A and B are shown apart, each in its own frame.
Chain A
Amino acid sequence: MKFENVQCKDVMVYICENLKEDIDSERCRAIRHHIETCGSCSDYSASIECIINWYRDYDPGFSEQLHTNLLKKLDLE
């Protein structure tokens, strides 16, 4: 994939590879170059990272009661 041939739609489809996968492949370098020079794709990439980071930081908590219930269920009290 050549630098000048990358379209915004390619970025949307191949963003999977751009975000931490195969980062040294020619395709990823081309995608990265496109993102750096295209405002719309830069926003797209940032929005995906935002969603990922939000769910990564989402903490449902873990109470002592959950731990106690688990040991009881496993007969490991």
Chain B
Amino acid sequence: MSEEKLIELAKTGDRDALRDLVKKYEKTLYSFAFKICRNREKAENVMQETFLSMLKSLKGFDGNSKLSTWLYRISVNHCLMSARKAKKDMFVEPDDDEELFSERHAADWSTIPYKSVENQELREILDRSIAKLAPEYRIVFTLRDVQQLSTEETAGITGLSVPAVKSRLHRARAFLRNEISKEFQR
């Protein structure tokens, strides 16, 4: 059955259609929420709240955007609400371009085993680096690079302008890369 038909049935309260929509998006939304929240309990909560919002507002879904885009938008809001409860000093906002693009971060990557993500040390460093990145930046990085949405879709979901998405994305990437360089230079 097409997604349009499923949505149409779900809007009438058809439980099978609602279950099918949940089944279709639950893994994607959980994985997305986990990559933003970095905590299984919070990710489960965000996923549940996202689908609760879907049940409540599906009748108002006009189909002008894809259902997945609409669900990501709801999920982003729940992720940000969850992040606001966390201590602000847990995260770094990479907004200092001079620091981010400083020549001193131009490490010799030939000495860093970045080609092998099987390398346990590198995986742990990547994990810690992403955890430090402020959620607003992690959201853009995850939507754009990990979920591979377009810049325009990412802008639509986050409510940012296209230039702001690009700016946050390249800052997030530079921040992560610099964090990894710093760890390997220790």
Contacts and interface: CB of A to CB of B under 8 A. Distances in A.
B35 A71 contact: no
Contact of B52 (A13, A50, A52, A74): A74
Instruction: Give the interface SS of chain B, mostly helix, strand, loop or mixed.
Output: helix
B81 interface: no
Interface residues of B, number: 47
Given A16-B166, A57-B117, A60-B40, A70 B176 contact: no
Interface in A1-27: 8-9, 12-17, 19, 21
B114 A44 contact: no
Interface in B8-44: 15, 18-19, 22-23, 26-27, 30-31, 34-35, 40, 43-44
Interface of A: 8-9, 12-17, 19, 21, 40, 43-44, 46-48, 50-60, 62, 66-67, 69-71, 73-74, 76
